[in-house]
Amino acid sequence: MQTANVHIERYDPESGACRTETYSVELKENDTVLQALLRIYEERDSTLAFRHGCRGSRCGQCVLQVDGMPRLACATRARDGMTLSPLKNLPSLRDLIFDRSAVDRRISSQRLYVMPPIQAALGELSVPEAYGRLIGCLECYGCMASCPRFDWRDESFGGPYVFVRLALLHLDPRDQEDRRAQARALGVDECAGCSACRCVKGIAIRRDAIGMLLGQES
């Protein structure tokens, strides 16, 4: 066990105030960020707000920023001196919890689901390899925080998660919509010279989603 200092950016929705608090916590050698947060909550400060779910890198609920980079708290090793913050580019609700509804509303308005006519189940059809890679998306919205263009208040630009969804639909032989045209209308051309977006699960968003929508299949 070692004593580590963990810096956490906190937000109070009642006052609108932001502050950084430092907690000392005992860490084992392979403790994750989530384990550190749970220990702080249980032993130091039960008012600290954060999300978590499966604890096994399957649900994406624990996504946050570790030293400025989107990470899954349950899959990232904790270290002394780390700074934890909520995802940027998205509104904060409290402490490390961000408001998912800003992206959820955008998704619901874009019809990001298979459009009819549907004549066969996906399991009966052949899909490209890229589909299998993209389907691993956890829908955590971590990629939105790594995008220098995305702003939740600006609905003219879809953002990397929306482009992943559009690429999946473009690759789905059951879908009848022109998803490349839809992506262009949502600003995917602005991504042509950028590779900043990052996925916490390692999906190659620029290659498999954005490149696909731009007609740059490799």
Summary mean pLDDT of the chain: 93
Among the residue ranges 30-39, 66-75, 114-123, 172-181, the one predicted with the least confidence is 114-123
- Please compute the mean of the pLDDT values over residues 19-33 and round it to a whole number: 97
What is the residue whose two structure tokens read 């502050």? 19
Q: Please list, residue by residue across 23-46, b when 16 or more beta carbons sit within 10 angstroms of its beta carbon and e when fewer do.
A: bebebeeebbbbbbbbbbeeeeee
Do 11 and 75 share a domain, yes or no?
yes
Number of domains in the chain: 2
Look at 89 and 117; give whichever has higher pLDDT: 89
Q: Which of residues 82, 98, 114 is at a domain's end?
A: 98
33 and 79 assigned to the same domain: yes
Across the chain, how many H-helices and E-strands are there?
Answer: 7, 7
Give the residue from 78, 68, 98 showing the smallest Cα distance to 196: 68
CB atoms within 10 A of CB 129: 9
Q: Among residues 98, 121, 147, which one ends one of the domains?
A: 98
Residue 5's beta-bridge partner residues? 24
Domain extent for 189: 101-213
Q: Are residues 36 and 109 located together in one domain of the fold?
A: no
- pLDDT tops 60 at residue 83: yes
The pLDDT, as a whole number, for residue 114 is: 83
Q: Which of 110-124, 143-157, 189-203 bottoms out in mean pLDDT, i.e. has the lowest?
A: 110-124
Interatomic CA distance for residues 6 and 68, integer angstroms: 14
| Angle, CA of 140, 141 and 147, to the nearest 5° | 150
Domain match, 94 and 107 both = no
- Residue 216's contacts (CB-CB under 8 Å, 6 or more residues apart) are none
Q: Are 91 and 101 in contact (CB under 8 A)?
A: no
Same domain for 27 and 126, yes or no, is no
Query: What's the pLDDT at 80?
Result: 98
Could you read off the pLDDT of 108-140 as tens digits, one per residue? 888 888 876 655 565 667 888 999 999 999 999
Q: Residue 211 pLDDT more than 70?
A: yes
pLDDT given for residue 120 in this prediction: 57
Q: Do 18 and 105 sit in the same domain of this protein?
A: no
pTM of the model: 0.91
**Radius of gyration of the CA atoms of the chain, in A:** 19
Does one domain contain both 194 and 114?
yes
Residues 87 and 167 in one domain: no
Count of C-beta atoms within a 10 Å radius of residue 102? 17
Same domain, 111 and 170: yes
Q: Tokens 């052949």 correspond to what residue?
A: 126
Q: Is residue 178 part of a domain?
A: yes
- pLDDT recorded at residue 118: 58
Q: Are residues 38 and 18 in the same domain?
A: yes
The whole-number pLDDT of residue 122 equals: 57
d(CA 156, CA 138): 24
From residue 92, alpha-carbon distances to 52, 104, 153, 199 in Å are 16, 15, 13, 20
Instruction: Specify if 218 maps to a domain.
Output: no
Decide which of 76, 98, 120 is a domain's last residue.
98
